[in-house]
């Protein structure tokens, strides 16, 4: 979990990281301590803490309140919106393409490749809902908060997807508007 400044860095698609593990360790070393931890020990403790918090957010619907009035992190769900127009075309707002199935269909039927037909994810296992991590900054006391974002690592996105696809998934998350 890191806070990222959305300012330009000169490289397209890259973000400048303001606060990462190196910064947290250097701040820890500034604190008076009889026997400070090594960077490896500090990193191991930090990872255990983050793992515990993120598992609570995912599995127990925990609303994690960040210190120093930085807001809250939780998971929101949103109903997928798709309809058909009068001429029969699907209006696909917020629906992702299932590329492996699409490529398989294109290889089996070349006509679908020429017409560029695609297969979509409809999330039937979750009641046609999409889920994502959300950093609620409404009560955040930081200036220029729109320049910062919370970007969870791929590990936590995959863990959320695995939890949602689980058979005994019954957690009800916050509803996005």
Please list the helix, strand and coil fractions of the chain in percent, rounded to the nearest 5, in that order.
Answer: 35, 25, 40
Residue with tokens 């931890």: 37
pLDDT at 11: 60
If we measure between CA atoms, which residue out of 7, 131, 151, 134 comes closest to residue 71?
134
pLDDT at 1: 47
pLDDT in tens, the chain (177 residues): 444 555 555 565 566 666 778 888 998 899 888 899 999 999 999 999 999 999 999 988 889 998 888 899 999 988 877 777 788 777 777 788 899 999 999 999 999 999 988 888 888 788 788 888 999 988 888 888 887 788 888 999 999 989 888 866 776 777 776
């Amino acid at each position: 979990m890191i806070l990222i400044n959305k300012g330009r860095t000169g490289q397209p698609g890259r973000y400048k990281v303001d606060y990462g593990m190196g910064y947290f360790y250097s701040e820890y070393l500034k604190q008076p301590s009889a026997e400070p931890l090594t960077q490896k020990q500090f990193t191991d403790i930090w990872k255990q803490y983050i793992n515990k918090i993120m598992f609570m957010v995912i599995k127990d619907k925990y609303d994690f309140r960040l210190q120093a009035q930085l807001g809250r992190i939780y998971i929101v769900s949103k109903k997928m919106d798709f309809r058909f127009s009068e001429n029969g075309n699907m209006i696909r707002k917020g629906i992702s393409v299932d590329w492996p199935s699409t490529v398989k269909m294109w290889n089996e039927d070349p006509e679908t490749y020429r017409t560029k037909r695609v297969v979509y994810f409809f999330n039937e296992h979750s009641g046609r809902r999409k889920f994502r991590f959300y950093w609620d900054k409404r009560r955040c006391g930081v200036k220029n908060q729109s320049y910062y974002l919370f970007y969870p690592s791929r590990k936590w996105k995959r863990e959320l997807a695995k939890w949602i696809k689980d058979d005994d998934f019954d957690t009800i998350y916050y509803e996005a508007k």
